A and B are shown apart, each in its own frame.
Chain A
Amino acid sequence: MSFSWAKAYEPKHPVMRWIDERLPLPRVVYGAVGGGYPVPRNLNYFWNFGVLAGVFLTIQIVTGIVLAMHYYATTDGAFNSVNGLIMRDVNAGWLLRYAHMNGASFFFLVTYIHIFRGLYYGSYKAPRELVWMLGLVIYLLMMATGFMGYVLPWGQMSYWGAQVITGFFSAFPLVGEPIRIWLLGGYAPDEAALTRFFSLHYLLPFVIAGVVILHIWALHIPGSGNPTGVDVKDERDTLPFHPFYTAKDGWFAAAVLLVYAVVTYYAPNYLGHADNYIPANPLATPAHIVPEWYFWPFYAILRSFTVDFVLAAKLWGVLAMFISILLLFFLPWLDKSPVRSGNYRPVFKRFFWLLVVDVLILGYVGGAPISPGRIALGQAASAYYFLHFLVILPLVSRFETTLPLPSSISTSVLHGEEAEAAPAGQTKKRGGSVATATAR
Chain B
Amino acid sequence: MATKAQSAEGPATTGHAEGGVRRRDFLNVAAVSFAGVGGVAALAPLLVQMAPSADVLAMATTEVDIAKIQPGQGIKTQWRKQPVFIRNLTPKEIAEANAVSLSDLRDPQTLAERTKPGKTNWLITLGVCTHLGCVPLGISEGENRGPFGGYFCPCHGSMYDTAARIRQGPAPKNLFVPDYEFTSPTTVLIGGTGKK
A residues within 8 Å of B by Cβ?
160, 163-164, 167, 181-183, 185-188, 190, 192, 196, 282-285, 287-289, 303, 306, 308, 312-314, 370
In the complex, what residue of chain B is closest to A196 when comparing beta carbons?
B50
Q: Do A370 and B50 touch across chains, with their CB atoms under 8 A apart?
A: no
A306 to B168, CA, bound (A): 10
Q: How far is the CB of B175 from chain A (nearest CB, A)?
A: 14
Q: Do A186 and B170 touch across chains, with their CB atoms under 8 A apart?
A: no
Chain B residues whose CB sits within 8 angstroms of the CB of A289 once the complex forms = 132, 134, 155
Cβ of B76 < 8 Å from any Cβ of A?
A: yes
Q: How far is the CB of A44 from chain B (nearest CB, A)?
A: 42
In the complex, what residue of chain A is closest to B191 when comparing beta carbons?
A187
Taking CB atoms and an 8 Å cut-off, the chain B residues in 60-110 that contact chain A are 76, 78, 80-83, 106
Chain A residues whose CB sits within 8 angstroms of the CB of B171 once the complex forms = 314
Cβ of B23 < 8 Å from any Cβ of A?
A: no
Q: How far is the CB of B147 from chain A (nearest CB, A)?
A: 15
Cβ of B192 < 8 Å from any Cβ of A?
A: no
Q: Do B78 and A167 touch across chains, with their CB atoms under 8 A apart?
A: no
Cβ of B133 < 8 Å from any Cβ of A?
A: yes
Determine the main DSSP class of A at the interface with B. loop
Cβ of B37 < 8 Å from any Cβ of A?
A: no
14 further interface pairs, Cβ-Cβ under 8 Å (given A182-B51, A187-B80, A188-B82)? A188-B128, A190-B81, A282-B82, A283-B127, A285-B134, A285-B153, A285-B154, A287-B154, A289-B134, A303-B156, A303-B170, A308-B106, A308-B172, A314-B132
Interface size on B, residues (CB 8 A): 27
Chain B residues whose CB sits within 8 angstroms of the CB of A283 once the complex forms = 76, 78, 83, 127, 135
Q: Do A164 and B51 touch across chains, with their CB atoms under 8 A apart?
A: no
Chain A residues whose CB sits within 8 angstroms of the CB of B156 once the complex forms = 303, 370
Q: Given the interface contacts A181-B51, A370-B157, does A284 sit within 8 Å of B135 by beta carbon?
A: yes
Q: Do B83 and A282 touch across chains, with their CB atoms under 8 A apart?
A: yes
Chain A residues whose CB sits within 8 angstroms of the CB of B127 once the complex forms = 283
In the complex, what residue of chain A is closest to B60 when comparing beta carbons?
A187
In the complex, what residue of chain B is closest to A178 when comparing beta carbons?
B51
B158-183 vs A, Cβ < 8 Å mask (1 yes, 0 no): 00000000000011100000000000
Q: Given the interface contacts A186-B52, A314-B170, does A167 sit within 8 Å of B132 by beta carbon?
A: yes
In the complex, what residue of chain A is closest to B106 when comparing beta carbons?
A308
Q: Do B50 and A183 touch across chains, with their CB atoms under 8 A apart?
A: yes
In the complex, what residue of chain A is closest to B155 when comparing beta carbons?
A289
Q: Given the interface contacts A167-B132, A289-B134, does A192 sit within 8 Å of B52 by beta carbon?
A: yes
Q: Do B134 and A190 touch across chains, with their CB atoms under 8 A apart?
A: no
A302 to B129, CA, bound (A): 16
* CB<8 Å pairs between A and B, sample of 24: A163-B134, A164-B133, A182-B50, A185-B51, A186-B52, A187-B52, A187-B82, A188-B81, A192-B52, A192-B53, A192-B56, A282-B83, A283-B83, A285-B153, A285-B154, A288-B155, A289-B132, A306-B170, A312-B172, A313-B170, A314-B131, A314-B132, A314-B170, A314-B172
